[in-house]
């Protein structure tokens, strides 16, 4: 009987341990399965960039910022590696720079030697359309132009590869 006191603690601890399996920040995006919002931006290099032109390709749309320490810095090399590995397979990687100072953003791109198109989002309109909550966030858009996956936080090669391979396997 006396051991009922310590024993009563156990279920509470089990429940809390269960909590690790869940992620309260993982809010499912209502955009999943919906057509991705159109955008047209001008890249840092000065060329036009619109989602419309990328139809038929699998698009990995990454929202980042130079002030986003450390997650954006962690994922930056993985983005470039993914781009190099997939650019000939019908994948487009697009970076959208959110609420940033232009100089700092250019410095960031130089540091990581990003060769895929990156554009500032001057009035934050694209990030609002995609319901970006914080940076980095990455959206995977299929060939038909629908948002299929959303990744919150730093992207890794494995996660990018998994989503891209899945989307590339689908018939166009």
The answer to whether 123 contacts other proteins (rule: CB under 8 A) is no
Q: Extract the tokens encoding 108.
A: 């960031």
Minimum Å gap between C-beta 108 and other proteins is 10
Task: Pick one of 133, 144, 165, 172: the residue that binds other proteins (CB under 8 A).
Answer: 133
The answer to whether 100 contacts other proteins (rule: CB under 8 A) is yes
Which x/- pattern, by CB under 8 A, does the window 103-122 give for other proteins?
-x--x---x-----------
Specify the residue, 8 or 171, whose C-beta has the smaller distance to other proteins: 8
Residues 49 and 58: their CA atoms lie apart, in Å, by: 15
The answer to whether 16 contacts other proteins (rule: CB under 8 A) is yes
The answer to whether 132 contacts other proteins (rule: CB under 8 A) is yes
Question: Which among 143, 1, 135 is positioned nearest to 72, based on CA atoms?
Answer: 135
Task: Pick one of 19, 30, 46, 171: the residue that binds other proteins (CB under 8 A).
Answer: 19
Q: Which residues bind other proteins (CB under 8 A)?
A: 2-3, 5-6, 9-10, 13, 15-20, 22-25, 65, 67-70, 98-101, 104, 107, 111, 124, 127, 132-134
């Amino acid at each position: 009987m006396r051991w009922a006191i310590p024993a009563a603690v156990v279920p509470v601890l089990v429940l809390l341990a269960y909590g690790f399996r869940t992620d309260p920040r993982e809010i499912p995006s209502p955009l999943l399965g919906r057509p991705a919002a159109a955008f047209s931006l001008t890249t840092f290099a000065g060329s036009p960039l619109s989602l419309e032109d990328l139809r038929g390709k699998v698009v990995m749309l990454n929202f980042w910022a130079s002030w986003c320490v450390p997650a954006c810095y962690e994922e930056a090399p993985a983005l470039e590696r993914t781009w190099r590995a997939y650019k000939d397979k019908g994948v487009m990687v697009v970076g959208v720079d959110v609420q940033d100072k232009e100089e700092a953003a250019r410095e960031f791109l130089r540091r990581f030697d990003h060769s895929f198109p990156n554009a500032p989002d001057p009035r934050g309109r694209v990030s609002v359309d995609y319901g970006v909550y914080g940076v980095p966030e990455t959206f995977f858009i299929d060939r038909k132009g629908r948002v299929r996956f959303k990744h919150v936080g730093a992207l890794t090669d494995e996660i990018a590869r998994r989503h891209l391979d899945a989307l590339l396997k689908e018939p166009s």
